[in-house]
Amino acid sequence: MNRKLNVFLSLMLALMFVMAACAPASTPTEAPATSAPATEAATEAATEAPAATEAPAGEADLNALAEESKKETEGLLVHSIMGENNWAPVIAAFNAKYQWITVTALDLGTTETFEKYYTEAAGGARTADMIITSSPDGWQDFIAKGELQVYHPVNIEGMPDFATLADGVYAVSTDPMIIIYNKQLVSTPPETMEAVAAFASDPANAGKIITYDAEKNGTGYGINWFWIGKKGDAGWTTLETIGKSNVNMQTSAGNMVNAVLTGEATVGYFVSAISVFPKFPDAEPILGYSYQKDGQVVLVRGMGITKAAKSPASAKLMMEFILSPEGQIAWAEGGLTPYRPDVADKAKYHLQKVIDAVGEENIIPFFFDPKIASADNRAAFLAKWKAAFGRP
């Protein structure tokens, strides 16, 4: 792993340890057997029989899980914040290994992933076996309610420290929130938030900027929270300048991308890259993008297995697959940004490429900040955010 990635990993570890220390204790699920039954050696043979080949460390665990998953008849249900196009290469690669597992991955809102689970679990209905979402506050509440089934995956070994967001919650990907623009309508593409503010200052661009609604979307709230946490008062000044241009607020990154493609909007900021990258190469003549070189927010997408899971073995296999080199590369094919160091030169997108583009000092990661989980802090932050954009 090169120096830049090490610096980022150290930063993430320093930020994560606070939550790790504060997280409520959970009881790990019982691990499957870690070794295969021993074979009987021949005792009377003229020559010794060759020794049985031992499975690599962890392989027996995964084989045991695979056998257990064959008894699960309801398939694997995932509440996620990724679309069908993001999931497609992952499910295809997963089913090449575990063809008997039918995967249903829902594309939900950031907080809806939890809310839907709570409602269904309370009513005894079929609900998520696994949740994948980016909500640091939602995850902390989920853990506090005792709804997380803790599993310690074999494939977490050798991963960066920040891959463990909390005991039982692991990073799927490290996705940059980027600037997008319509190449045919923007003569000077913005590469920083300061440049977006300058663009907003031109009265001709009123109503032409688009972003997440931080009040109505959990991802938008998190992006603004962590960006302001790094930028401070200067960040609020930048948002106030942008806010004077009648910004178009959305709860879906897909809507933002489509608006820029059609020219309804010309610039978008804090846009989820997973809705942008799959548009290429088809959108290349119209759609441009840039990492935010003066403060790049990186959304760390977390995954965990639910207490109410009906297919826990299948969920564990998916978690193991996501953390594996093959799984990380498959996510890159689906437009997500993997972080596993040993696929940096193989994956279509990778965290190291983001670091190379903006500098490690400009990386602003999501983490389990205890302050973001406070209802009072949320209310105060959103009141200030709404004031910056002139919203009631």
Mean pLDDT over 284-297 rounds to 97
With contact defined as beta carbons under 8 Å apart, do 61 and 300 qualify? no
179 and 147 in a single domain? The answer is no
Is residue 57 scored above 80 in pLDDT? no
Q: How many helices (H) and strands (E) does the chain have?
A: 13, 12
For residue 283, what are the CA distances in angstroms to 175, 181, 195, 286, 337? 20, 11, 23, 6, 19
Check residue 14 and give its pLDDT: 45
Mean pLDDT over 71-75 rounds to 97
Is residue 201 scored above 70 in pLDDT? yes
With contact defined as beta carbons under 8 Å apart, do 238 and 385 qualify? no
The helix (H) or strand (E) run that includes residue 165 is strand 164-166
CA distance 66 to 316: 9
133 and 16 in a single domain? The answer is yes
Check residue 5 and give its pLDDT: 52
Question: Amino acid identity, residue 78?
Answer: V
258 assigned to some structural domain: yes
pLDDT tens readout for residues 11-53: 454 444 333 334 333 333 333 332 333 333 333 332 233 333 3
Residue 104's domain spans which residues?
A: 3-28+61-174+299-361
Bridge partners for 128 per DSSP: none
44 assigned to some structural domain: no
DSSP notation for 61-94: HHHHHHHHHTT--S-EEEEES--HHHHHHHHHHH
66 contacts: CB under 8 Å, gap ≥ 6: 98, 313, 317
338 and 315 in a single domain? The answer is yes
Stretch among 57-66, 72-81, 246-255 having the lowest mean pLDDT = 57-66
CA distance 334 to 92: 11
Stretch among 41-45, 312-316, 366-370, 387-391 having the lowest mean pLDDT = 41-45
Instruction: Determine phi and psi for 54, rounding to 5 degrees.
Output: -80, 140
41 assigned to some structural domain: no
For 122-135, give one letter per residue: b (16+ CB within 10 A) or e: eeeeebbbbbbbbb
- Kindly indicate the confidence band of residue 216, based on its pLDDT and cuts at 50, 70 and 90: very high
3-state secondary structure at position 268: strand
CA distance 220 to 237: 18
The helix (H) or strand (E) run that includes residue 299 is strand 296-306
Is residue 3 scored above 50 in pLDDT? no
293 and 328 in a single domain? The answer is no
Query: How many structural domains compose the chain?
Result: 2
146 and 21 in a single domain? The answer is yes
184 and 260 in a single domain? The answer is yes
257 and 121 in a single domain? The answer is no
Check residue 35 and give its pLDDT: 31
17 and 154 in a single domain? The answer is yes
DSSP notation for 200-263: HTSGGGTT-EEEE-TTT-HHHHHHHHHHHHHHTHHHHHHHHHHHTT-PEEES-HHHHHHHHHHT
165 assigned to some structural domain: yes
37 assigned to some structural domain: no
43 assigned to some structural domain: no
3-state secondary structure at position 267: strand
Chain centroid to CA 324: how far? 15
Check residue 76 and give its pLDDT: 98
pTM reported for the whole predicted model: 0.83
250 and 197 in a single domain? The answer is yes
208 and 284 in a single domain? The answer is yes
Q: Round the average pLDDT of the chain to a whole number and report it.
A: 88
Closest CA to 65 of 100, 89, 96: 100
Check residue 54 and give its pLDDT: 41
75 and 152 in a single domain? The answer is yes
Check residue 17 and give its pLDDT: 37
49 assigned to some structural domain: no
Q: For position 246, which CATH number holds?
A: 3.40.190.10
Chain centroid to CA 223: how far? 12
Is residue 259 scored above 90 in pLDDT? yes
200 and 253 in a single domain? The answer is yes
3-state secondary structure at position 51: coil
390 assigned to some structural domain: no
